Amino acid sequence: MPVFLFDKIIFGPVKSRRLGVSLGINLLPLDYKYCNFDCIYCECGRTYKNKFKGKKFHDRTEVKQRLEEVLNKMKSENNPPDVITFAGNGEPTMHPDFEGIIDDTVELRNKYFPEAEIAVLSNSTLIRKKTVFKALNKVDENILKLDSANDATLKLINNPPAGFTVSKLTENLKLFNGKLTVQTMFITGTYNGKSVDNTSNKEVEGWINLLKEIKPEKVMIYTIERDTPSANIKKVIPDKLYTIADKAKKAGFKVQVSV
């Protein structure tokens, strides 16, 4: 299936289903996906580690320069973003200067658009890294992935690094003491001959129980929008997403649904 890669360090602004008018920052390579997950639904395609070659990351100084150029232009055009979002072609927290780049972004946001928020979309794998943890506590929207409460389902959907378990993920997410947003991609279908479905009653019940442990400020639930690298992955219908959202709301969580 076709895949989508961001071909610039700074991209947009675009209209985000979850965040509004979003100016994106891609810290990863422009010609291939760089991630420690290999999610079967990822719009950027599969993770091929044999492609991890040469210069993997954009320099901190270049990111700051490009961001200031775009923000300055947006300011002159009176075109404010709602949010500046770290996303792009893989996992942004893998950048070795991630904390410094967050500091630069906070500085430029305060200079040009102090009302805008800063968001990070992360797969939650590097929370234990001190600099990453500090950086994520500096942003307005710390948005962290939790696609299943079941190890087998998480492994099937996300293909995480060896040793990455739901239990470890939960303990890491709890370190934020509630200062985070949990994001969950709901999908159905098949992959490599196996059924994929994190929308079942058992899956949703386990997911809500984990939310009760993590205590996030907000929960974002959504489903696929673009093509996926796995042809048999299916989009979840809106009614199903809203049913899941209602269950989470009854458990006491603020929930945002994107369809």
Residue 3: inside a domain: no
pLDDT of 31 over the 90 cut: no
Query: In the structure encoding, which two tokens stand for residue 236, read together?
Result: 């979840």
What local confidence, expressed as pLDDT, does residue 50 receive?
61
Closest Cα to residue 30, out of 61, 54, 65, 1? Answer: 54
Q: What is the pLDDT of residues 163-184, one digit of tens each?
A: 999 999 999 999 999 999 999 9
Domain count for the chain: 1
Interhelix angle 60-76/98-112, rounded to 10 degrees, is 20
Exposure string (b/e) for 75-93, b if CB count within 10 Å is 16 or more? eeeeebbbbbbbbbbbbbb
Q: Which residues contact 85 (CB under 8 A, 6 or more apart)?
A: 16, 19, 22, 23, 24, 25, 118, 119, 120, 121, 141
Spatial separation of the C-alpha atoms in residues 91 and 169, rounded to whole Å = 16
Tell me the residue range of the domain where 157 lies.
Answer: 10-258
Lowest-confidence segment of 18-27, 90-99, 157-166, 222-231 by average pLDDT: 222-231
Average pLDDT (130-139) is: 98
Q: Give me the residue label for tokens 């979002």.
A: 85
User: Is the residue at 29 inside a domain?
Assistant: yes
2 pLDDT above the threshold of 80: no
Q: Is residue 2 situated within a structural domain?
A: no
The model's confidence at residue 228, banded by pLDDT at 50, 70 and 90, is confident
pLDDT digits (tens, 9 = 90+) for 55-98: 678 999 999 999 999 999 999 999 999 999 999 999 999 999 99
Q: pLDDT tens digit string along 144-169? A: 999 999 999 999 999 998 999 999 99
147: CATH: 3.20.20.70
User: Is the predicted pLDDT of residue 15 greater than 90, yes or no?
Assistant: no
Mean of pLDDT values over 39-44: 91
Is residue 4 in a domain?
A: no
Q: Please, which pLDDT band fits residue 53 given cuts at 50, 70 and 90? A: low
pLDDT band at 229; cut points 50, 70, 90: confident
